Structure 1
């Protein structure tokens, strides 16, 4: 049975290979280790294996881990799950990034509730790229307005886009979705100074996402094993 450190190493090698195949430098793609439902001991094992970026889906669980590991000042915590308006305060007070902002109300509350003593909160807009009713994310028709709003907020820094494409697409569907996402990302990347992150790709579609410009892949099971 492989250790977490060994699985991390495999994930990094997979990212490097995918980047090389896409004629991109290996360091152009970051690895976000998705640690939801996993104990702090697993996060510590990944940390000792050199991992510093961790993604959590559930607010309460994530906040508890941030607090328990607050002595490790170089961990970067990403909230990647949906944030409800009654949870924005604890998220704003504890996380470094929120990748799942999909409406103005949430962005406004995160901005108002981010402590002055902390640097601006890094934000990605979650885009409902395949227009699925079951998924969170802003519709493409409303994206410009949300970009403009977040960009005007003092305590937020708009870093890019996050998306969860349709599960089990055909190769053609997958290519179309990822190409569209890259086109939208490039549009903002050329006009906004801090817009540098395209967070797309998980264990199953990592190579394809990197081929289409992903700068951050979110890997959980392949590092930590099946979810509890």
Structure 2
């Protein structure tokens, strides 16, 4: 490693630690346990070397948006203790690869995708952890089921043996964090309606700009990319 690479790695680790400190501080302010919120490092468009550097310092969970890019990183980092999360929209022609290689999918938004993931999850692997993405603001540009569609989707997923329903995910409108409270209330309502539901413990919400607000509302996974890795590389 040359001096420039070493400096870059040091800056990466420093930013990562700053984010961890921010999560700890926000958790304390919200009266929550230090381990109540987990950090998902969003590594899309960043290198396998950057992931390896963070992993060497203890970061296990990484979020990717693009299936093919993620599969290449998985191959490059094979043998490392890494938990892979898909957080981007999932097309039906990619479900087989996702079912075979990912540990979590945060962006299941319709029954067709859930069925395909269930049917294609290899039997030798543990059930695939999934979150149902909810489009609370009904934004046409974003994936997610509506609040009205959610109860039926929950019921359908619960009988799929190769999926483990873990919780809900939301991406709010830019600058508007009210969706966090709505998602938390929705999560609580599902638990109240289905008290025997086990493992339904996840609220995937909050990104670099709104970590504190998400944690105050009850987030259990914050998805942070740019605050750790810096600006995404430009693509030509």
For the superposition of Structure 1 and Structure 2, which TM-score range results when normalised by the shorter chain?
over 0.9
Residues in 1 aligned to 2:74 and 2:189: alpha-carbon distance in whole angstroms: 34
Which residue, out of 204, 214, 223, partners 2:219? 214
**Structure 2 regions of 5+ residues with no counterpart?**
1-6
Q: How does 1:153-168 map to 2 (within 5 A)?
A: 153-168=160-175
Q: Secondary structure at the match of 1:33?
A: strand
TM value normalised by structure 1:
0.95
Q: CA deviation at 1:67?
A: 2.1
Q: CA deviation at 1:188?
A: 2.4
Residues in 1 aligned to 2:97 and 2:42: alpha-carbon distance in whole angstroms: 19
TM value normalised by structure 2:
0.91
The equivalent residue for 2:86 is: 79
Q: How does 1:41-120 map to 2 (within 5 A)?
A: 41-72=49-80, 74-120=81-127
The equivalent residue for 1:148 is: 155
Q: Tell me the alpha carbon deviations over residues 40-65 of structure 1, each in whole angstroms, 9 at most, x when there is no partner.
A: 00001110121000000001101111
CA contact (8 A) 1:96 1:121 kept: yes
> How many equivalent residue pairs?
222
Are positions 1:121 and 2:125 aligned together?
no
CA contact (8 A) 1:33 1:55 kept: yes
Over the residues paired in the alignment, what is the CA RMSD in angstroms? 1.1
Q: Tell me the alpha carbon deviations over residues 9-56 of structure 1, each in whole angstroms, 9 at most, x when there is no partner.
A: 111100000000101111100000000000100001110121000000
**Structure 1 regions of 5+ residues with no counterpart?**
none
Q: CA deviation at 1:180?
A: 1.1
Q: CA deviation at 1:189?
A: 3.6
Which residue, out of 222, 225, 229, partners 1:224? 229
Residues in 2 aligned to 1:194 and 1:142: alpha-carbon distance in whole angstroms: 21
Residues in 2 aligned to 1:60 and 1:132: alpha-carbon distance in whole angstroms: 26
Are positions 1:138 and 2:145 aligned together?
yes
Residues in 2 aligned to 1:3 and 1:218: alpha-carbon distance in whole angstroms: 19
Runs of 4+ with deviation above 3 angstroms: none
